[in-house]
Structure 1
Amino acid sequence: MTDEPRQSEREMLDQLEAMRAPRTRIRAVAALLAGLAGTVFMTSLWWSEPGPLPVRTHLSFALLTVFCLAWAGYGGWLLMRRVPLFATEQVVAAWIALTASVATTGVSAVAAARSGASLVAALATGGLFMAAALTLAVRAHTRRAALLRRMRQLAQKEQA
């Protein structure tokens, strides 16, 4: 009698993983290609700029290139994984987005302050991106915790 619920739980998990896999693969390829394209674009733009660039400009190009490489690395990591991730990929993506939005807001605020542009506009725009990234990070952590909790429950039922 206990074998039947275990079997249906396993089937349910297998079906969920099978339904999720193509979407995860597409996201991985998109992140990898976008990251690589962004890296190529940023480095070609950076090195094709005429004349000596200020240090701040070099730092900005470097920071944007690092963000593009992070997305490419994330996409490559997803493609290399052959085991269920239990929403880990969403947590990683949310943290990359949050880090990028915080750093970009900081760079924008410094640039606005130095150029005399509206600091309020730079902080408001950056704040919107940071709030969105933080919301995604919280949701990803919550979803991952729920999936891990469910996995532990199923493992305990299987042992019983």
Structure 2
Amino acid sequence: MTDEPRLSAREMLDHLDTTLARRTRVRAVTALLAGLAGAVFVTSLWGSEPGPLPGRTHLSFALFTVFCLAWACYGGWLLTRRVPLFATEQVVAAWIALAASVVTTGIAAVAAVRSGAGLGFALAVGGLFVAVALVLAVRAHRRRAALLRRRRELTRRERS
């Protein structure tokens, strides 16, 4: 046994640095700026299109704008958090990526069919993005579950 004082789980959590790690801050700022820049770009492109656009084109522009704003909101949310996140930020990012990948694949597939370009390439590329996003979502959920399980274990030991 060592003579070092033992910290309870709550004390360990309280001692965690409340500021974000540099890597997390960089990721948050990148998401925020890229999301805002993407939203500005897509909406300016949308607004500058000449003539009346079909409804599905308006829907596509609107969805891309929403995805960009979701990334911007994610970056802002991450920057304002001052508590241990227990990998919640990774779960949120993975779900945004998965939703964006699925919807973008659907839009690309519809556009490919309508243009006669063939569905295979759109589904192959989109499927790859969806598969990667799905793997990241599963990993994020597992990591978060492991961290929460560990916190519960530490809390139980503290009560004992």
TM-score when scaled to structure 2?
0.89
Higher relative contact order (CA 8 A, sep 6+): 2
* Pair 1:2–1:146, CA change in 2 (3 A): farther
Task: State the SS of the aligned residue for 2:6.
Answer: helix
Report the secondary structure of 2:21's partner residue.
helix
Q: How does 1:2-151 map to 2 (within 5 A)?
A: 4=4, 6-7=6-7, 14=15, 21-151=21-151
Give the letter for the 1:96 counterpart.
I
SS at match of 1:82: coil
Higher helix share: 1
Q: Offset at 1:21? A: 2.1
State TM-score, norm by structure 1: 0.89
Identity of aligned residues (%): 74
Distance 2:157 2:76 in 1: 35
Instruction: Letter of the 1:112 partner, please give it.
Output: A
Q: In the alignment, residue 44 of structure 2 is paired with which amino acid? A: S
1:130 and 1:149 mapped to 2: Cα distance?
28
Q: Is the 8 A contact 1:6 1:158 kept in 2?
A: no
> Alignment length, in residue pairs?
159
Letter in 2 for 1:33: L
Task: Work out whether 1:154 is the aligned partner of 2:129.
Answer: no
Quote the RMSD (CA, aligned, Å): 2.5
Alpha-carbon deviation of 1:55? 1.4
